Amino acid sequence: MSIYMSIKNIIFDFGGVIVDIDRDAAVRQFKAAGIADIETYIDPYRQKGIFKDFEDGSVSREQFYEKLALIAGVPVDPEEIDRGWLDFLKKPVSQKKLDYISELRKNRKTMLLSNTNPIIMEWANSPQFSPSGKPLESYFDIMFLSYKMRCMKPDSRIYSQLVAAANINPEETLFIDDSRANIEAGAACGFRTLLFENDSDFFKIENLL
């Protein structure tokens, strides 16, 4: 019998799994906003410097804008910075993917675990997120967000917090992420895992369940 037959819970990553990512588009927009050395800060899997501090909740949204202005050496427009974050994500989001998650949710607990920030989540939890007009949060039983949890994948603490808060058995849980480091950390916590490739076939998950 497949090791996945006993899966009762599914944890999805956000960027790179539910929504495809485009780092190059984000780089272009951040440069246009005045962040000349943006490549040293942003990564498809985990951010660095002030960008990491924003996603692990160490700084607020207002502090993030202020510190970016110091880095850039010129005033920055918050709307232009927000656009840089949102350009990370390819749009429109696939409604087919979201509908499939809704089907899974009928007999399994669905969860989100994302290294993310308030700017992205403000958009994701709005009607603008999906073609159907439903926000991201409507597709999941629980969402675990790095900036609220004050830690980021692949730190083992974020997985431990999730297991405790969701009251789940890791051995009955499939964790899907596009970062090998995140997947390895999840496996060390006892999850079944699936390493997902950005822009790949989302529906290969069907073959496991």
Active site amino acids: 13
From CA 66, how far away is CA 128, in angstroms rounded?
27
Strand partners, 70: none
Strand partners, 114: 145
Strand partners, 10: 110, 174
Contact partners, residue 114, CB within 8 Å, separation at least 6:
13, 14, 15, 143, 144, 145, 146
Any idea how long the chain is? 209
Return the SS3 of 21.
strand
Going across the sheet that includes 9-12, the strands are: 142-145, 109-114, 9-12, 173-177, 192-195
